[in-house]
Chain A
Amino acid sequence: MIGPMIGNIISSPVFIKRISVAFAALMLLAAVLAVAASVGETAIPVGTVIDTIANHLWDAGHPVDAIDAGIIWNYRLSRAIVAASCGAALAVSGAVLQALLRNSLADPYLLGISAGASTGAVSIVILGLGAGMLSLSLGAFIGAVAAFAFVTVLALQAGRGTGAIILAGIAGSQMFNALTSFIVTKSASAEQARGIMFWLLGNLSGVRWPDVWLALPVAIAGLVVCLWHARALDAFTFGRESAASLGVPVRRVYAVLIAAAAMMTAVMVSIVGAIGFVGLVIPHAARFFVGTRHGLVLPLSALIGALFLVCADVISRVIVPGQVLPIGVITALVGAPAFALILCHGRILR
């Protein structure tokens, strides 16, 4: 029964078209990643990038300068892949939350995650919590999850409506931000405060391959989980009750998808800091192109988010010679005007 059904689906023209489009999108992403790895303080030809990757993946044995190869493989490529994963995960989280909460201004940090991450990070760096056993990332992750748990409990206490989650998120964010400020002003040196500030605005400089092996699977798994629920997300178009009457198990979908968005965001924030505007703006850009159906909106959000953050990272590396800007500054500088533009076009609130 199931065998022939799958056969029918795989051989259908729609499926073949989708696979082709997905393949083209992956090729585009790969090309952008290669270009990103070639751009930087020392420009390296894209050909060298491809040779290096080939050498690493299947011992192609191309002659490549060892220093170039090191820069490409150890620094730029891992960094670009993490940027792509992060962009995809944040954009998908944003799209999911906007759909579930019926609020076009929802973004992944709404759940208190960035605020909690910053509290976790300063607890490690400034208060020395964990006595050097915990890395900054782990601290940030724990903080993010704690804040999310706090917001969830608060929202459940406050009632079931979508408004409850948003208000609980605001309350949670304010509280954890206040905690962070308290710790920073009380005990941080100016140097530490600057470092924290830099981290909070998003920073990919420390990213290496182990981070890739965390960020990439989380982004892919998160995207798959959300895509699996694409039709359920569509059913929320007219609200929760309407979704329920369309046969969607509302509470389970809520729990699974909000947890997925929170996990993706928490992991990304703990690796690269709180990069703003991606989760808010990218889903709107995706809807601008393909309409409201999540079967299209989610993958396109992931793609645009990935491309956007890879590009933003490259810009942050090269725009001021000899200095790396926090990537969050770039995303905000591009994202805020883009958001204003979308707003003025009335595409969000209409």
Chain B
Amino acid sequence: MTLELCDIVWSAGFRKIIKNVSLRVKPGEFLGLIGPNGSGKTSLMSVLAGIRPPDQGRAMLAGQDMKKHGRRKLARQIGFVEQQADTTDRLTAREAVALGRTPYLSMLSPWSERDDAIVERALGDVDMTHLADRFWHTLSGGEKQRVHIARALAQEPKFLLLDEPTNHLDIRHQLGLLELVRELPVTVVAALHDLNHAAMYCDRIAMMRDGELVGIGSPADILTSENLRDVFGVDATIEHGPNGECTVRYHTGMKKDRAA
């Protein structure tokens, strides 16, 4: 199954936010999405998830326009974890994960033991089984994020879209979460802020600037000094390891005029 954007334009009011982006997500890969704040990562993820219909171009799942699939069918293929989604409702972690079964349930197919099993497995996948009965508001930021991912996994998706999943997590949980996601048997698209994390975990990286996709390729191809200067406005050198891994080393004295 493929997930593909063809020449997408998405506007808010009269302002073009996403400008002519084409993108093909390869089955099984971990695709990172990088770019400065406001470059359109969240917007692009929403289009990819099928929750914002593009104004021009086509968003396609399995070679067919998403519009033709219908919401429920899309939700069975694509799990989306938003940048920020919180609630004041008094529900448990398990109940939050159970929401992921929504696209499979109806009057004629009510909640079943199979749904219970899938929810438990999703909780296990993110290592939250022991906290499953805790109320949402008692969970830490990292635990909430893991519950969100479990909710998306309960949708049994082929594609898992994560919008800045490591925000607000300490470094151990950031790495743990990316490790976890990488091990999952799904195709992952993740908007990431930390370029070194992108370099460590992504098979490919897509880079955005001002709503445009300015590059896509292997971490070594995308993470270059020129790109970081042009797109992020920072001075950095890239160190390449023996196995093709690369590390970004930033230098002080940022070019303030370029910082977005």
Seen from chain A, the residues whose Cβ lies within 8 Å of a Cβ on chain B are 2, 5-6, 9, 14, 102, 104, 228, 231-232, 234-235, 237-239, 241-242, 244-249, 287, 291-293, 347-350
- Tell me which of A9, A246, A347 contacts B110 (CB under 8 A): A9
Residues of A within 8 A of B87 (CB): 102, 237-239
| A245 and B75 contacting across the interface, CB-CB below 8 Å | yes
Residues of B within 8 A of A249 (CB): 71
| B102 and A247 contacting across the interface, CB-CB below 8 Å | yes
| A238 and B85 contacting across the interface, CB-CB below 8 Å | yes
| A234 and B85 contacting across the interface, CB-CB below 8 Å | no
Chain B at the A interface: mostly helix, strand, loop or mixed?
mixed
Residues of B within 8 A of A234 (CB): 99, 102
Q: A228-B107, A350-B137 are in contact. Are A244 and B91 (CB under 8 A)?
A: no
Residues of B within 8 A of A14 (CB): 110-111
Residues of A within 8 A of B95 (CB): 291-293
Q: A2-B108, A237-B96, A241-B46 are in contact. Are A248 and B90 (CB under 8 A)?
A: no
9 smallest beta-carbon distances between A and B, as pairs: A247-B75, A247-B103, A245-B80, A247-B72, A238-B85, A244-B51, A246-B102, A292-B91, A247-B71
Chain A at the B interface: mostly helix, strand, loop or mixed?
helix
User: How many angstroms between the C-alpha atoms of A242 and B49 in the bound complex?
Assistant: 11
Residue B243 lies at the interface, judged by CB distance under 8 Å to chain A? no
User: How many angstroms between the C-alpha atoms of A295 and B248 in the bound complex?
Assistant: 51
- 26 A–B contacts, CB within 8 A, in A order: A2-B108, A6-B108, A102-B87, A104-B88, A234-B99, A234-B102, A235-B102, A237-B89, A238-B82, A238-B87, A238-B148, A239-B82, A239-B87, A241-B51, A241-B82, A241-B85, A244-B71, A245-B75, A246-B102, A247-B71, A247-B73, A247-B75, A247-B103, A248-B102, A349-B88, A350-B135
Chain B: CB-nearest residue to A242? B85
User: How many angstroms between the C-alpha atoms of A6 and B109 in the bound complex?
Assistant: 9
Residue B153 lies at the interface, judged by CB distance under 8 Å to chain A? no
- Tell me which of B73, B75, B108 contacts A5 (CB under 8 A): B108
Chain B: CB-nearest residue to A6? B108
- Tell me which of B75, B91, B107 contacts A291 (CB under 8 A): B91
User: How many angstroms between the C-alpha atoms of A329 and B215 in the bound complex?
Assistant: 66
| B155 and A246 contacting across the interface, CB-CB below 8 Å | yes
Residues of B within 8 A of A245 (CB): 49-51, 75, 78-80, 82
Q: A245-B78, A246-B155 are in contact. Are A291 and B90 (CB under 8 A)?
A: yes
